[in-house]
Amino acid sequence: MTIKKETKIKLYLALGLTVFLSLLLLFVFSGDNFDLLKSIFVDHLSNDELRDKLNDFGWRGYITIVILAALQVVCAFLPAEPVQVLSGVTFGFLVGLLCCMIGVFIGNTLIYLLHKTFGDKLRGFFVKKLGLDLEKIAHSNKLVLIIFILYFLPAIPYGMICFFAATTNMRYRRYITITLLGAFPSVCIGVGLGHIAIVSNWIVTVCIFAVLIALLIVLYLKRDFFFTKLNNFAEESKSKSKTSVRKTNRFMLDVLYFTIRFYYYICGVHIKSVNKVGKLQGPAIVLCSHGSFIDFIFSASLLRKFSPNFIVARLYFYDRVLNWLIRSIGGFPKSMFAMDTESTKNCIRVLKNDGILGMMPEARLSTTGRFEDIQKSTFSFIKKSGVPVYTILFNGDYLADPKWGKGFRRGSVVEATLDILYTADEVAKLSVEEIEKGITERLYYNEFEWLESRPNLKYRSRRIAEGLENILNTCPKCHKKHTLITKKDKVFCEDCGYLTSLDNRYSFDEDFTFKNLAEWYDWQKAEMLEEITENENFSLSCEVELRLPSSGRGLTRQAGKGVCKLSRSGLEYSGSKDGEDFEIQFPIERVYRLLFGAGQNFEIYNGTEILFFVPQDKRSCVDWYIASMLLYDTTVKDM
């Protein structure tokens, strides 16, 4: 069995850290050092005796303090104050402070490496059950300030704060700067107390200690009050961030547009844009079809001059770089298929400011290159808005870069057409049902029907069929699930062998059961519908890895493991979350559609947080999407 390169690196790093920590412990407890530690805690040496004894060790005394300071960070249960006071007693303020800060630097670095090696598996060791909502704090735009405040609160060890900072996926330079600056004041106090005990008379020392102890007691007794204030502060800053909609930075949008447009051109994707309305004036809503991830740049070809504000899936705002970039070009977050009052307020704010509100009402990528349904609440919002409605219909976008595909297809042509659908007066007169009918008819698309009308189009890709196994889950010959594999343009079944190939117009072999992937998908969907209809107790269940949004660089982080179950009752998860037992249930009324990444995960929003479930066989993700759709449509409609 071969070991992946990433796994090898983790093993080597873990081994190196283990050896390093073992050598540190050996140094601390070896020879005279062990007698020294024993003397500190058992023999009750006077300050002068302790200082003289440490000074006799020379450089070994400095290293001992540095190691002890590092260990009290890594081993969060060890108190920091005795080491700091000891350092001040022995070496004075400046030298003692330097030794402790070097130790803190080493300890903080070790925690950062431990997190990079083992991820969030160590979270339960560092994060105590306090009255702090660390998830809320992690997503606050005042994260750095809150980390500094944590260093001044009682009952929170340095190690826990450092590990919490590491889980936000900061870069090391920023992480080490913040954690060192945060620890510096309290280290100064600890070392200063030790120094004062030597240079001052006992009355001054006792008074200072008494004041500090009294302060710590008050802080400890009132810790719930301070923790509540901190949680509210994090929530307040978070809410302000969510409800803000920035004015579109036209320069940034133009640079991004032309850069990506040039990249598409190099990749062989050509755009044909048609504007049938001329200049847009706000307030107005622009509805776009959504066959591919790259639709936003196609819409920019028609709308960038009008500075639109687009609704974007909240997922992409978890990465700080993407967050900044999307907001700078006028985007704001939305929890898809979930109650999101913040997004609704943002939509209203855009329209009140006479802006252009852009949305892709299907709210997920098309699985097979055909129009997906739209939630009823979207039509109600449009009716209440009372503003003109425009549409952008894309054709060819799915075939250029399908949800399941591996890269762009050269020779692709994408057509984007902007047209008006309703004037403000028409929106006021029409019923919600009439608005729904008009939007559905206008945004309807079928890539395979469109392709038939363009016989000269041919798509070139060395891996044109690769990834199909992530949306086609059943073999039409043996009817077994999750046995499909693809290579280049070929599709195989692990049991049946070769099945078919995909040509340069997305068609299968002439003698194959299905003409194209849409027909194959419809067949397996019908198979599942029959199973659901005949079995009242139908359910899907599998072991999953839970991933949660990352508050730093990257979109997600590992958070736990458990079991997911989907049935007529809804979606259930039972397992662990950040080292603790965790269960959550979503009634079927809230499971409109489970979002899914082809061959990656299936997802659901819980308020502003998204839960990612990664099954053992990632090809099964599409099953959860199809099942959620069928269960919702057959169950909720019957209620």
> What's residue 242's pLDDT?
46
Is 461 among the domain residues? no
Query: Under DSSP, is residue 101 helix (H, G, I), strand (E, B) or coil?
Result: helix
The pLDDT of residue 458 is 94
Q: What is the mean pLDDT of residues 357-361?
A: 94
Residue 218 has pLDDT above 50, yes or no: yes
Q: Are residues 163 and 113 in the same domain?
A: yes
Quick one: 42 and 157 in the same domain?
yes
Kindly state whether residues 447 and 493 are assigned to the same domain.
no
| 149 vs 434 pLDDT, higher one | 434
Please, are residues 303 and 279 in contact by the beta-carbon 8 Å criterion?
no
Q: How many CB atoms lie within 10 A of CB 358?
A: 25
Asked if residue 549 and residue 498 are part of one domain, the reply reads no
Within this chain, do residues 495 and 613 fall inside the same structural domain, yes or no? no
Residue 229 within a domain? yes
Same domain, yes or no, for 21 and 150?
A: yes
346 confidence band (pLDDT: 50, 70, 90): very high
pLDDT at residue 450 above 90? yes
What are 305-322's pLDDT values in tens digits? 998 999 999 888 887 778
Task: Name the more confident of 311 and 58.
Answer: 311
pLDDT tens digits along 181-205: 888 887 887 777 766 655 555 555 5
Type of residue found at 316: Y
Residue 462 lies in a domain: no
- Over 70: is that where the pLDDT of 98 sits? yes
**Inside any domain, residue 458:** no
Is pLDDT at 591 greater than 90 in this prediction?
yes
Tell me: do 474 and 444 sit in the same domain. no
Do 406 and 331 reside in the same domain of the chain?
yes
Confidence of residue 118 (pLDDT cuts 50, 70, 90): low
How much of the chain, in percent, has pLDDT values that exceed 70? 74
Residues in CB range of 69: below 8 A, 6 or more apart: 80, 83, 84, 87, 99, 100, 101, 102, 103, 104, 106, 107
Sheet holding 484-487, edge to edge: 484-487, 490-493, 497-501
Sheet holding 580-587, edge to edge: 580-587, 570-577, 556-567, 539-549, 609-615, 601-606, 595-597
> Looking at the predicted structure, is the pLDDT value of residue 563 above 50?
yes
Q: Is the pLDDT of residue 295 over 90?
A: no
328 and 423 assigned to the same domain: yes
Q: What is the pLDDT of residue 120?
A: 55
* Domain around 549: 535-638
Neighbour count for residue 270 (Cβ, 10 Å) = 13
3 state SS for 462-513: CCCCCCHHHCCCECCCCCCECCEEEECCEEEECCCEEEEECCCCCCCCCCCC
Residues 351 and 254 in one domain: yes
Domain boundary among 494, 521, 548: 521
Residue 392's pLDDT is 95
Residues 219, 293, single domain; the answer is no
Task: Report pLDDT for 277.
Answer: 92
Whether 527 is covered by a domain: the verdict is no
Same domain, 74 and 210: yes
Q: Is residue 550 part of a domain?
A: yes
The predicted structure's pLDDT at residue 241 = 45
Instruction: Provide mean pLDDT across the span 443-455.
Output: 95
Q: Is residue 397 part of a domain?
A: yes
- 628, part of any domain: yes
Quote the tokens at residue 231. 């949680």
* pLDDT tens column, 384-394: 999 999 999 99
Strand-by-strand arrangement of the 269-275 sheet: 269-275, 412-422, 389-395, 284-288, 356-359, 309-313, 332-334
Q: Is the pLDDT of residue 54 over 60?
A: no
Q: Which of these ranges, 221-230, 285-294, 299-308, 318-327, has the smallest mean pLDDT?
A: 221-230
What is the tally of structural domains in the chain?
4
- pLDDT of 359 strictly over 50: yes
Q: Stretch 476-487: mean pLDDT, rounded?
A: 93
Higher-pLDDT residue of 302 and 243 is 302
Domain at 603, CATH number = 2.30.29.30
Of residues 617 and 84, more confidently modeled: 617
> Is the pTM above the cut of 0.95?
no
